Amino acid sequence: MRRCPSPNFNERPEGTVVDLALIHSISLPPGEYGGDAIERLFTNRLDWNAHPYFATIRGLQVSAHFLIRRTGERIQFVSCDERAWHAGPSVWKARPQCNDFSIGIELEGLEDMSFETAQYDSLASLLRALSDRYPILDVAGHEHVAPGRKRDPGSSFEWHRLQALSGWPAERFAGLSGAPPAAS
């Protein structure tokens, strides 16, 4: 795994238990894969004038703990002990501010488009490794913690496939068990 430190993080609230893995999707520009724009965005080095789409996100300061490329390569931006800035306004099981208690994992891709086998394999392996250190109870998509605002990873994400690869029970996956209402 390659490391690419992001300045976009802060401390988790004291005593916070990290028990949610939060799955996202991203490509920059949308639909283009393999470049360095995601890394540049997460490290505040994106040239806002390099593509017309970048002007629409000018000044955005975001990060994730991990990015999984289409090839399955993993890049870590923020230590899992720190709070990455990936979820924005969000609620999971009546707990607001998911950044406080989640590990953000970006998959290189677009909502509602398919992901690669190498990404599922890498993600399942990462989840197993994370569960050795953190009590990960749930795996949810950005769409589950910010419904109406976010749609990723989207309808083409294969939750059953990830569940089978992880070996974890279906109840731990929001895409299989149904996400709780954001306000419940």
Domains, in order of start, for the chain: 2-177 (3.40.80.10)
- The per-residue pLDDT for range 3-37, each reduced to its tens digit, is 999 999 999 999 999 999 999 999 999 999 999 99
Q: Is the pLDDT of residue 169 over 50?
A: yes
pLDDT of residue 112: 85
Is this structure's pTM higher than 0.85?
A: yes
- How does residue 178 score in pLDDT terms, banded at 50, 70 and 90? low
Q: Is the pLDDT of residue 158 over 80?
A: yes
> How does strand 20-26 pair with strand 138-141?
parallel
3-class SS string, the chain: CEECCCCCEEECCCCCCCCEEEEEEECCCCCCCCCCHHHHHHCCCCCCCCCHHHHHHCCCCCCCCEEECCCCCEEECCCCCEEECCCCCCEECCEECHHHCEEEEEEECCCCCCCCHHHHHHHHHHHHHHHHHCCCCEEEEHHHHCCCCCCCCCCCCCHHHHHHHHCCCHHHEHHHHCCCCCCC
Closest CA to 73 of 36, 111, 31: 36
- Residue 106 annotated to the active site: yes
Which distant-in-sequence residues (6+ apart) come within 8 Å of 86 by Cβ? 22, 24, 62, 63, 64, 65, 99, 102, 104, 106, 142
From the list 11, 14, 73, 106, the catalytic residue is 106
Enumerate the β-bridge partners of residue 68.
74, 107
Mean pLDDT of the chain: 95
